[in-house]
Amino acid sequence: MNELRIGNIAIKRTAALAPMASVADRSYRQICREFGAAYVVSEMISSKGLCYNDKKSAKMCRISDAERPCAIQLFGEDPVFIGKAAYLLNEYNPDIIDINMGCPVPKIVGSGSGSALMKDPTRAEKIVRAAVKNSRVPVTVKMRIGWDEDSINAVDFAKRMEQAGANAITVHGRTRKQMYSGKANWEMIARVKNAVSVPVIGNGDVDSAQSCERMYSETGCDLVMIGRASYGKPWIFEEIEHYFNTGEILPPKTLDERMEIMLKHARMVIADIGERQGMKEMRHNVIWYVKGIKGAASLRRECSELVSYSQLEDMVRRILDKENS
């Protein structure tokens, strides 16, 4: 199995976990790494929040050795704050600092951050230069292919990010206007790959070992990144690694195995942030884990009331009893 390097960081060329707000927390990153994710990226962290000593932002910067290689992702529209935040991140010892230029959420875009920067490449360049100047580790950029179908500028934008000092570029093959709908444009990922000399990471519409293989083949990208396809299925990384190593497709996880993974995930979250808050954070994860199970609709309603691990254990017992009856 070959690998790529981002700066001095070696990463297996299987699949990486995308940065996802309210999803890619420490526990989620760790369980995905346990299942073979080659590289993980944190939830996006406000550069201004970090500079103003926001406790929540600082807490999100903590990385465990079990997560490495791991990037911390920053967002913001001000090069000065990005530079200061990159400097502050040095004490947290990330492997990489990633700059978010792809988030399509209105709240982020409205502040001039995220994918709004696709419309302002000059500011985006200044942001990357400020991060590179203040960081002791490689700096990367995660971008989209453009703002909308009439302003697809991924190739030129990526070139400018490389010139500004970015060590790698992740391309989500959708425009900001698409949000997460429609089909990802892999051709634009391939064009970016052909236009720059730094590693290019492809993102969008990979949901299996076979589609991961196709993205590598069709785009020539250096690494594939997976986001939503990992929801309730962190073992997708195991499936991809196994397929790449052997050419074989792993059999689907049994319901018992899926439920045990879910319980383990819950225990990890609880160990990190406590039971009550941990179970609140687990609610959306549980909804993903039980997707497709008999009675999933009623289970989703039940998830909104989870406040203890014992409740989750009881839910699992009932699920398995119903399946085996």
Give me the active site residues, please: 103
Q: Which H or E run contains 37?
A: none
Q: Give CA–CA dist 69/64, Å, rounded.
A: 10
Cβ atoms within 10 Å, residue 307: 14
Joined tokens for residue 55: 């406790």
What would the DSSP string read from start to end of 227-293?
Answer: SGGGTT-TTHHHHHHHHHHHSPPPPPPPHHHHHHHHHHHHHHHHHHH-HHHHHHHHHHHHHHHTTTS
Q: What angle do CA 120, 126, 129 make, to 5 degrees?
A: 140
Burial class (CB in 10 A: 0-12, 13-18, 19+), 48: buried
Rounded to whole angstroms, the maximal C-alpha distance in the chain is 63
